[in-house]
Structure 1
Amino acid sequence: MNDFSISIPASSANLGPGFDSLGLALNLYLTLHVTAADKWDIEHKSPLLPAKTPCEDHFIYQIAKQTAERHHKQLPPCKVVVTTDIPLARGLGSSASAVIAGIELANQVCGLSLSQEEKIQYGTDIEGHPDNIAAALLGGVVITALTADNQINWIHLDDLNVDVIVYIPDFELKTEQAREVLPENLSREQSTAASAISNLVVAALLSGDYKLAGKMMEKDLFHEPYRAELIPGYHDIKLEAKNNGAYGTVISGAGPTMISFAPKGEGSGIANHMQRILTDYQVSALTIDQEGSQVRQVHIK
Structure 2
Amino acid sequence: MFCSSLFSWRTNLIFIPFLIIGLSASSCRELAECEAGLSDLDWNYVERVNKLISTEDYLEAIKINNEALTHNPENYIAISNRGALQFQKKGHNVSKEELVSMLDDFEASLKICPSYLIANSNMITISSEFGLSDQVIVYSMKRDSLEKLTPYFLTKLLIGYFDRGLYEYAVRTGETVLQVEPQNIEAANYLGLTHIQLKQYNRAEKLFNQIIRDGRANSLTYRGVAVLNEKRGDLDNAKQNYRLSIKNDSTELESYLSLARIYEFQDSLESACHTYRLASASCEELFEYSYSRPDVEEKIGKFCSLK
Same fold (TM over 0.5): no
> Smaller-chain TM-score range?
0.3 to 0.5
Could you say which structure has the higher helix fraction? 2
Report 1 or 2 for greater relative contact order, CA contacts < 8 Å, sequence distance ≥ 6. 1
Structure showing greater Rg: 2
Report the TM-score when normalising by structure 2.
0.35
